[in-house]
Amino acid sequence: MDEATLILDGDCGLCNRAAMFLKPRLSKNKKIIFLTNESKEGEEIIKKLSSKKREADTVYFIRNGKSHIRSAAAIRCLLFMKWHYRVLYPFCWIIPSPIRDLAYSIISKNRHRIFTEPETCLIPSLNDY
């Protein structure tokens, strides 16, 4: 089974919704472990990353010992989804990373205004089913 870890902001409504969207759409032979950056496990993983990535304060995608942040992390989630989502991967990847990361930054800076903070973080419980 192909496995990866996705570390998201537990206080972010967008991150919670993204995790809830991803979980039921994962391919049967793929698994994403969902963690929050505030969790003990999440903090331990982030602590082991390079200082540049540690200070990014973003979404983290870790697979086979390699870590990815920002838009690269988000796009790599497509590889773990069912085939009709996976086909979007090459089309998203062809967009140059500075443009992808700019769009990511704009969304990231406005996410708390657009998406309300969840009363309860659902991210850790997604690993239970």
The answer to the question of residue 104 being in a domain is: yes
Amino acid (one-letter) located at 12: C
Question: Confidence band (pLDDT; 50, 70, 90) for 119?
Answer: confident
The answer to the question of residue 39 being in a domain is: yes
The answer to the question of residue 128 being in a domain is: no
**Stronger pLDDT, 70 or 11, i.e. the higher one:** 70
pLDDT digits (tens, 9 = 90+) for 22-40: 999 999 999 999 999 999 9
How many structural domains is the chain composed of? Answer: 1
pLDDT above 70: residue 74: yes
The answer to the question of residue 64 being in a domain is: yes
The answer to the question of residue 129 being in a domain is: no
The answer to the question of residue 49 being in a domain is: yes
Terminal CA-CA length for the chain: 16
The answer to the question of residue 115 being in a domain is: yes
The answer to the question of residue 71 being in a domain is: yes
pLDDT at 117: 82
State the pTM of this model. Answer: 0.91
pLDDT at 57: 83
Query: What range does the domain containing 60 cover?
Result: 2-123
The three-state (H, E, C) secondary structure of the chain, written as one string: CEEEEEEECCCCHHHHHHHHHHHHHECCCEEEEEEECCCHHHHHHHHCCCHHHHCCCCCEEEECCEEEEHHHHHHHHHHHECHHHHCCHHHHHCCCHHHHHHHHHHHHHHHHHHCCCCCCCCCHHHHHC
pLDDT at 83: 95
Q: Residue 26: which of 77, 87, 94 has the closest Cα?
A: 77
